[in-house]
């Protein structure tokens, strides 16, 4: 080897095979006897990485040469494929593959590559002291991307690509190492060679494309110059990876399966390459419809700061099931300080009866690459620090960090929602009545009342009218505040502004930035700008404070002067302008019912066409529509919250019965802003028997909740007073229902459980049009109790009702439920009931609390209707 310096140079050839990496390591250690230990250790580490790279990619015999001169070590690793260039690519320190060249760059004093017609040699030098001469680096490599046909990948999220690439390399690396020794023969050696080669070509071309400078966004459109005949090789690569994924899911490989987002992204990339090489047109990653767990909506790399700045209770955990970020709202909800939660296991926040199943589900997700609840809204309990249960609706999304890891981000919505933070009438009136400060002038600000007419410079009169009409249409049927603001923001940034910001007053003159929208939100985490702001104080003199006191709309032809930032709120607003790159802006108050409750800010970035006074009247007209929509949404949310709290307050505390276990769950709809009439009840009759009730009033509004409370109270009164068979109790309830001012139509099951502490037990029940109770034995046998069925309440009181009797075996579970647990638009009721039977059978031996929670997790995700569940289990007294 020409670079070695005899007689202190030695070399040895090693055959193609995984055992050669360890042999080369031992050879280097023996050749460097007498050299400083730290240099020997480093040399052995680097040579094992380089030999492994040569074995994986060159697939020839390897020659390792070692020389020592003046205490300085030089090691070279040669292979017989000089035309195969190196493919250096970024890998984070924890990645399982791709570290060879990165380690050489980090640890070697000098490094480089020598090539000739027969051989390629990658070398490094280790210098014990003194600065080494400049390194030649890897510049001698051949161009990695051969000429051919360009393939365009549109809207590539860099973080997701990094995760997919790392996983692809890990699978191919493991297959290459295990195949020669006869383990896991899922692919042929010929296919594996093709797969490795084309994977390296794709990685090299992507690395070159990603080096091109782009705007501050994670989404990029990349042009890859791939060989024109690469499609068959890409199909082989895809087949090899599919087989490897199957082996990983069956735990035949050490590499874990890909997470759904990474897997689907890679399939999209391969589809784009093969289709475009065949003459097809590009299709953007962001426009493809997908399942919830592989949604393309979360395009920004995960950052802890995004979680901490959010207004929605949010917790993030890593692949080790540890909490890595939590915001204040989530910590407050669960009784913790945010800093105390970071670093703890996620099971800290999971009730004891669900921890084992959570750990099993989390491990299953990592081992199989399949998720149960990611991307779905699931009702379940969280554990408060004081030990009590907090009913929440959990929404988990998988996100990628900038360096390719997967993070699981969970948003927690309390199922017993509280009223929206809105200022009281006296506070709002006082805020609106505060006099404008005198003697304060802002040279960059002008003010104009709504009586002045004119059209915006950018919009013609028809365009202006169209924008006003579209704003009204966007907000007319939106009852969810956040959704309405996002729609309005997207409309404004699409038609007249670069940024749109909405700030709302809350209690005690505080301000909450509830919505920030950018014209091109791809790759911009606008939620990072949202959150609580400082209060409007007596010293607040800035544009936002003035507008919240009733001024405006205001035209800002530049950022507010620094000297105007006399309060924390003013400083925050000035900082927002700096972050948004604002060149001009209009700030206008949101008014409803003669009260100021917020402000709209629309901005244009510096360098673009600025806002002028001609735009003020248009913005003023727009904020009237926006204010009306926001006020309606807030009023609706307040009404809904009142109704839901009323509904929850009427749900009973279950009795403590010696020989029976009772558990119940209630979850409001995850997809509507309406309240239903679902209810459950259980109480002990004077005879000592236990009554169980489930019901559902027709409708989703406050009237349904009121009717539910009336029926529940009447049924309990009739049952306790009469102690008659269930059919007679329901008949009397139906008669009483007809006497109500607003007669309700409802379904209901009323049952009575009788039996001594040791058993046997008998259930007598009657149903008024309700879904049949489900009986599940300890052995997992299931049976629907369809006897005793009758008409709905409110239909015909003359039709007789029936009572059915059923024996309840020891340790069996009786389940009463409302239709929200089972009914789905895309399946028949028979299929839905069969699915419930399967879930119940699987949970037959679980504790009753786990039984109920797992039913809601498995069947209640994304429920379009309210769910009420009442479960009873017979437990003999020993």
> What pLDDT does residue 300 have?
57
CB atoms within 10 A of CB 825: 5
Which whole-number Å values give the CA distances from 845 to 657, 711, 809, 870, 873, in the listed order? Answer: 20, 34, 14, 17, 11
Main-chain phi, psi angles of 37, to 5 degrees: -60, -40
Whether 286 and 219 have beta carbons less than 8 Å apart is answered as yes
Q: Please indicate, yes or no, whether residues 358 and 400 belong to a single structural domain of this protein.
A: yes
- If we measure between CA atoms, which residue out of 198, 194, 195, 188 comes closest to residue 171? 195
3-state secondary structure of 618: helix
Query: Higher model confidence: residue 426 or residue 577?
Result: 577
Q: Which residues pair with residue 805 across a beta bridge?
A: 764
What is the largest distance, in Å, between two alpha-carbon atoms of the chain?
112
Whether 812 and 778 have beta carbons less than 8 Å apart is answered as yes
Q: What is the pLDDT of residues 483-528, one digit of tens each?
A: 778 888 888 888 888 889 999 888 767 888 888 888 876 556 677 7
149 CB-near residues (< 8 Å, 6+ apart): 225, 226, 227, 228, 276, 277
- The span from the CA of 509 to the CA of 532, in Å, is 11
Main-chain phi, psi angles of 277, to 5 degrees: -65, -25
Element (H, E) at 647: helix 616-650
Query: Higher model confidence: residue 772 or residue 186?
Result: 772
Q: Please indicate, yes or no, whether residues 599 and 709 belong to a single structural domain of this protein.
A: no
Q: Which residues pair with residue 162 across a beta bridge?
A: none
List the domain range (segments joined by +) for residue 181. Answer: 149-294
> What pLDDT does residue 619 have?
87
> What pLDDT does residue 94 have?
46
3-state secondary structure of 842: helix
3-state secondary structure of 847: coil
Q: Please indicate, yes or no, whether residues 188 and 252 belong to a single structural domain of this protein.
A: yes
Whether 798 and 749 have beta carbons less than 8 Å apart is answered as no
Q: What is the pLDDT of residues 541-564, one digit of tens each?
A: 888 888 888 887 898 887 777 666
- If we measure between CA atoms, which residue out of 116, 120, 113 comes closest to residue 140? 113
> What pLDDT does residue 403 have?
65
Any domain includes 142: no
Q: Please indicate, yes or no, whether residues 260 and 312 belong to a single structural domain of this protein.
A: no
Q: Please indicate, yes or no, whether residues 670 and 603 belong to a single structural domain of this protein.
A: no
- If we measure between CA atoms, which residue out of 91, 129, 89, 92 comes closest to residue 109? 129
Residue 636 predicted with pLDDT over 80 = no
157 CB-near residues (< 8 Å, 6+ apart): 218, 219, 265, 285, 296, 299, 301, 400, 523
**What angle separates helix 260-277 from helix 158-178, to the nearest 10 degrees?**
90
Query: Higher model confidence: residue 208 or residue 389?
Result: 389
Q: What average pLDDT does the chain have?
A: 80
Query: Higher model confidence: residue 463 or residue 606?
Result: 606
Average pLDDT over residues 840-860: 91
252: phi > 0 → left, psi -120 to 50 → alpha, else beta; which? alpha
**What angle separates helix 158-178 from helix 189-210, to the nearest 10 degrees?**
150
Element (H, E) at 399: strand 389-400
Average pLDDT over residues 639-654: 71
CA atoms within a 13 Å half-sphere pointing along the CA-CB vector of 732? 18
Average pLDDT over residues 375-395: 86
Average pLDDT over residues 567-574: 86
279 CB-near residues (< 8 Å, 6+ apart): none
Q: Please indicate, yes or no, whether residues 446 and 542 belong to a single structural domain of this protein.
A: yes
> What pLDDT does residue 608 have?
80
Residue 130: Cβ-neighbour burial (10 angstroms; 0-12, 13-18, 19+): exposed
> What pLDDT does residue 446 have?
42
- The span from the CA of 815 to the CA of 662, in Å, is 10
- The span from the CA of 577 to the CA of 444, in Å, is 14
- If we measure between CA atoms, which residue out of 749, 860, 9 comes closest to residue 852? 860
Whether 825 and 874 have beta carbons less than 8 Å apart is answered as no
Whether 260 and 406 have beta carbons less than 8 Å apart is answered as no
Q: What is the pLDDT of residues 134-169, one digit of tens each?
A: 766 665 344 455 567 889 998 888 778 888 888 898
> What pLDDT does residue 188 have?
85
Any domain includes 803: yes
- The span from the CA of 495 to the CA of 602, in Å, is 11
Q: Is the torsion defined by CA of 16, 19, 21, 27 positive or negative?
A: negative
- Domain end point (choices 230, 264, 294): 294
Any domain includes 2: no
CATH number at residue 431: 3.30.450.40
Any domain includes 644: no
Q: Please indicate, yes or no, whether residues 623 and 680 belong to a single structural domain of this protein.
A: no
Share of the chain above pLDDT 70, in %: 82
> What pLDDT does residue 795 have?
87
Any domain includes 136: no
State the SS3 of 22-58.
HHHHHHHHHHCCCCCHHHHHHHHHHHHHHHHHHHHHH
Whether 823 and 829 have beta carbons less than 8 Å apart is answered as yes
Residue 535: Cβ-neighbour burial (10 angstroms; 0-12, 13-18, 19+): middle
294 CB-near residues (< 8 Å, 6+ apart): 260, 261, 263, 264, 265, 375
CATH number at residue 103: 3.30.565.10
Any domain includes 1: no
Average pLDDT over residues 622-643: 76
3-state secondary structure of 574: helix
- Domain end point (choices 86, 111, 126): 126
> What pLDDT does residue 444 have?
43
CATH number at residue 698: 3.60.40.10
> What pLDDT does residue 455 have?
33
- The span from the CA of 787 to the CA of 767, in Å, is 8
CB atoms within 10 A of CB 185: 9
Share of the chain above pLDDT 90, in %: 28
Q: What is the pLDDT of residues 53-69, one digit of tens each?
A: 888 777 889 999 999 98
634 CB-near residues (< 8 Å, 6+ apart): 420, 422, 481
- The span from the CA of 876 to the CA of 778, in Å, is 13
pLDDT band at 291 (very low <50, low <70, confident <90, very high): low
* Total count of residues recorded for the chain: 878
pLDDT band at 576 (very low <50, low <70, confident <90, very high): confident
Q: Please indicate, yes or no, whether residues 440 and 407 belong to a single structural domain of this protein.
A: no
3-state secondary structure of 203: helix
Q: Please indicate, yes or no, whether residues 478 and 611 belong to a single structural domain of this protein.
A: yes
Any domain includes 429: yes
State the SS3 of 715-784.
HHHHHHHHCCCHHHHHHHHHHHHHCCCCCCCEEEEEEEEECCCCCCEEEEEEEECCCCCEEECCCCCEEE
**What angle separates helix 461-476 from helix 481-495, to the nearest 10 degrees?**
170
Q: Please indicate, yes or no, whether residues 194 and 157 belong to a single structural domain of this protein.
A: yes
Residue 5 predicted with pLDDT over 50 = no
Q: How many domains does the chain have?
A: 5
Any domain includes 144: no
Q: What is the pLDDT of residues 428-474, one digit of tens each?
A: 333 333 333 333 333 344 444 333 333 334 566 777 777 877 777 76
Q: Which of 433-442, 802-811, 858-867 is least confident?
A: 433-442
Q: Please indicate, yes or no, whether residues 333 and 264 belong to a single structural domain of this protein.
A: no
State the SS3 of 314-339.
EEEECCCCEEEEECHHHHHHHCCCHH
Whether 134 and 95 have beta carbons less than 8 Å apart is answered as no
CATH number at residue 317: 3.30.450.20
Q: Please indicate, yes or no, whether residues 828 and 771 belong to a single structural domain of this protein.
A: yes
- Domain end point (choices 391, 414, 437): 414
Whether 455 and 618 have beta carbons less than 8 Å apart is answered as yes
- The span from the CA of 651 to the CA of 865, in Å, is 17
pLDDT band at 741 (very low <50, low <70, confident <90, very high): low
> What pLDDT does residue 234 have?
93
């Amino acid at each position: 080897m020409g670079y070695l310096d005899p007689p202190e140079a030695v070399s040895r050839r090693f055959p193609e095979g995984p055992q050669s990496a360890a042999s080369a390591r031992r050879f280097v250690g023996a050749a460097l006897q007498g050299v400083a230990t730290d240099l020997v250790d480093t040399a052995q580490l680097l040579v094992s990485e380089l030999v492994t790279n040569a074995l994986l990619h060159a697939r020839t015999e390897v020659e390792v040469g070692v020389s020592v001169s003046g205490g300085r070590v030089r090691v070279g690793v040669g292979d017989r494929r000089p035309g195969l260039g190196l493919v250096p690519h970024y890998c984070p320190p924890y990645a399982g593959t791709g570290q060879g060249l990165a380690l050489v760059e980090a640890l070697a004093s000098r490094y480089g590559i020598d090539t000739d017609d027969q051989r390629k040699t990658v070398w490094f030098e280790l210098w014990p002291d003194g600065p080494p001469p400049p390194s030649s680096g890897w510049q001698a490599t051949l161009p990695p991307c051969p000429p051919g046909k360009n393939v365009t990948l549109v809207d590539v999220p860099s973080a997701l690509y990094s995760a997919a690439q790392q996983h692809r390399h890990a699978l191919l690396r493991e297959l290459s190492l295990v195949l020669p020794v006869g383990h896991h023969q899922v692919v042929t050696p010929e296919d594996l060679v093709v797969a490795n080669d084309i994977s390296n070509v794709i990685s090299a071309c992507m690395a070159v494309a990603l080096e091109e400078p782009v705007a501050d966004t994670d989404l990029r459109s990349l042009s890859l110059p791939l060989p024109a005949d690469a499609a068959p090789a890409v199909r082989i690569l895809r087949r090899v990876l599919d087989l490897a994924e199957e082996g990983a899911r069956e735990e035949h490989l050490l590499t874990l399966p890909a997470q759904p987002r990474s897997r689907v992204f890679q399939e999209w990339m391969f589809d784009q390459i093969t289709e475009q090489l065949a003459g097809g047109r590009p299709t953007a990653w962001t426009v493809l419809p997908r399942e919830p767990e592989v949604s393309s909506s979360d395009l920004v790399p995960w950052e802890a700061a995004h979680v901490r700045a959010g207004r929605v209770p949010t917790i993030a955990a890593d692949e080790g099931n540890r909490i890595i970020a939590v915001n204040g709202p989530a910590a407050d909800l669960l009784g913790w300080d945010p800093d105390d939660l970071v670093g703890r296991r996620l099971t800290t926040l999971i009730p004891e009866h669900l921890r084992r199943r959570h750990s099993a589900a989390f491990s299953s997700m990592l081992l199989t690459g399949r998720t149960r609840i990611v991307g779905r809204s699931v009702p379940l309990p969280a554990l408060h620090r004081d030990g009590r249960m907090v009913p929440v609706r959990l929404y988990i999304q998988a996100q990628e960090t900038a360096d390719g890891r997967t993070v699981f981000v969970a948003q927690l919505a309390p199922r017993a929602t509280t009223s929206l933070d809105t200022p009281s009438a006296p506070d709002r009136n006082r805020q609106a009545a505060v006099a404008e400060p005198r003697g304060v002038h802002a040279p960059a600000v002008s003010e104009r009342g709504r009586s002045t007419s004119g059209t915006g410079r950018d919009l013609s009169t028809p365009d202006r009218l169209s924008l006003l009409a579209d704003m009204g249409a966007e907000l007319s049927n939106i009852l969810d505040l956040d959704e309405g603001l996002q729609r309005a923001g997207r409309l404004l940034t699409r038609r007249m502004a670069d940024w749109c910001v909405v700030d709302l007053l809350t209690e005690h003159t505080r301000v909450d930035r509830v919505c920030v929208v950018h014209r091109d939100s791809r790759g911009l985490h606008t939620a990072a700008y949202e959150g609580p702001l400082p209060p409007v104080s007596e010293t607040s003199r800035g544009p936002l404070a003035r507008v919240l006191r009733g001024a405006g709309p205001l035209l800002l032809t530049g950022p507010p002067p620094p000297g105007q930032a006399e309060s924390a709120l003013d400083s925050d607003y000035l900082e927002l302008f700096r972050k948004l790159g604002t060149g001009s802006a209009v700030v206008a108050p949101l008014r409803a019912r003669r009260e100021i409750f917020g402000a709209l800010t629309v901005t244009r970035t510096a360098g673009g066409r600025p806002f002028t006074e001609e735009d003020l009247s248009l913005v003023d007209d727009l904020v009237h529509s926006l204010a009306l929509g926001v006020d309606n949404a807030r009023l609706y949310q307040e009404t809904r919250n009142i109704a839901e709290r009323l509904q929850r307050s009427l749900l009973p505390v279950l009795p403590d019965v010696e020989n029976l276990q009772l558990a119940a769950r209630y979850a409001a709809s995850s997809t509507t802003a309406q309240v239903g009439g679902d209810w459950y009840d259980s109480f002990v009759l004077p005879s000592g028997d236990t009554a169980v009730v489930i019901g559902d009033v027709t409708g989703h509004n406050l009237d349904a909740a009121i009717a539910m409370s009336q029926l529940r109270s009447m049924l309990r009164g009739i049952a306790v007073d009469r102690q008659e068979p269930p059919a007679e109790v329901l008949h009397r309830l139906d008669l009483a229902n007809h006497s109500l001012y607003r007669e309700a139509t409802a379904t209901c099951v009323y049952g009575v459980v009788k039996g001594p502490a040791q058993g046997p037990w008998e259930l007598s029940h009657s149903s008024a049009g309700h879904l049949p109770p489900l009986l599940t034995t300890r052995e997992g046998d299931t049976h629907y109790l369809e006897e005793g069925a009758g008409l709905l309440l409110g239909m015909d009181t003359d039709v007789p009702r029936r009572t059915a009797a059923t024996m309840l075996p020891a340790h069996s579970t009786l389940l009463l439920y409302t239709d929200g647990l089972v009914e789905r638009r895309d399946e028949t009721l028979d299929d839905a009931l069969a699915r419930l039977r399967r879930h119940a059978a699987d949970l037959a031996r679980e504790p009753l609390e786990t039984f109920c929670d797992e039913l809601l997790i498995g069947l209640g995700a994304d429920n379009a209707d309210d769910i009420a569940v009442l479960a009873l289990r017979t437990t003999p007294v020993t």
